[in-house]
Amino acid sequence: MKLLIPGVSGLLGINLAQEMMGKHEIIGIDRGKLNNAPFEVLHRDLSDASGFDSILDSEKPEAVINCAALANLEDCEENPELAKQINVDVPRQMARACKAKNIPFVHISTDAVFDGEKDDFYTEDDKPNPLSVYAKTKLEGEWAVLTESPEAIVARVNFYGWSLNGRRSLAEFFVNNLMNNKSMSGFTDVLFCPMLVNDTARLLVKMLEKNLHGLYHLVGPHAMSKYQFGVEIARKFKLKESEITPKSVVFGGLIAKRSNNLSLSTRKLSTDLGESLPEFSTGLNEFYTQYAQGYPQKIRSYQQF
């Protein structure tokens, strides 16, 4: 399969390309961060998707997985118009272009579309209530994509893994601080369902191969606090979990509002794929193995300096 990945230099994009380049032909799109990647990269500014049609015509991909987003919550609060442009307008244009050319389209959304008030796991049928500019624009992006192309896949995700700059995921935050003997905090009152980004990548391609469409929760099957996540990282890497201080998000000093409960049910996806989603322990083991085998250094070697 010839796979086009807008936003290929992001955390999901780079791991998706790395995961799939041995099985599929990968064409990435980024703004110039990659110049040494082992797959084709088109350097384009996707803040304006008006040229996306011409990319589809010239490259003729068999599927598109859109990983491009303005994902920093604080940046979105400070630049709401830019957040709308990248998180709503661009995916709308992409979905429209792919539908016109009958190209399967996958759009990445977020678990943050919920307000966290529910005491149980959220399903795809629960009504979202986003709290931040980021979450609001991502929800609008979902609607835009599915309005333009009901056959598209929209996946609400929460993942961790190794990134190009080494600072994009919560797991890297814990690893970097713990390895440098720096104390840090972990929120005890924020629940989420983390999944290793490589598992996210593999499942997205399975969803395409199964011809799924519509809205899915693509996260880990188990919920935990961000503090507990940090503790699990520390234990796996044999670092000092005592360096992680339990803390409430109320005292986190963050600008954008966060939801306390982002526990998402994955029953729909598991049922439609006909398989259980990967356990947290399995993903964490792979994350550690990647570190031990030099995977972070490998993907960082792809970027431009």
Cα-based torsion angle of the residue sequence 87, 88, 94, 99 in order, rounded to the nearest 10 degrees? 140
The mean pLDDT of the chain is 94
Tokens of 137: 């624009």
Whether the pLDDT of residue 252 is over 90: the answer is no
Asked if 103 contacts 56 with a C-beta cutoff of 8 angstroms, the reply is yes
- Domains in the chain and their CATH numbers? 2-300 (3.40.50.720)
Contacts of 233 (CB under 8 A, 6+ apart): 171, 174, 175, 178, 239, 284
Whether the pLDDT of residue 255 is over 70: the answer is no
Averaged pLDDT for residues 12-21: 97
Strands 191-192 and 224-225, sheet pairing:
antiparallel
C-alpha 151, offset from chain centre: 21
* Cα atoms found within 13 Å of the Cα of residue 157, Cβ hemisphere only: 24
Averaged pLDDT for residues 201-225: 97
Q: What is the pTM of this model?
A: 0.95
* Length of the chain in terms of residues written: 305
- Residue 143 corresponds to which amino acid? W
> Which of 3-17, 42-56, 108-122, 147-161 is predicted least confidently?
42-56
pLDDT at 64: 98
pLDDT at 32: 84
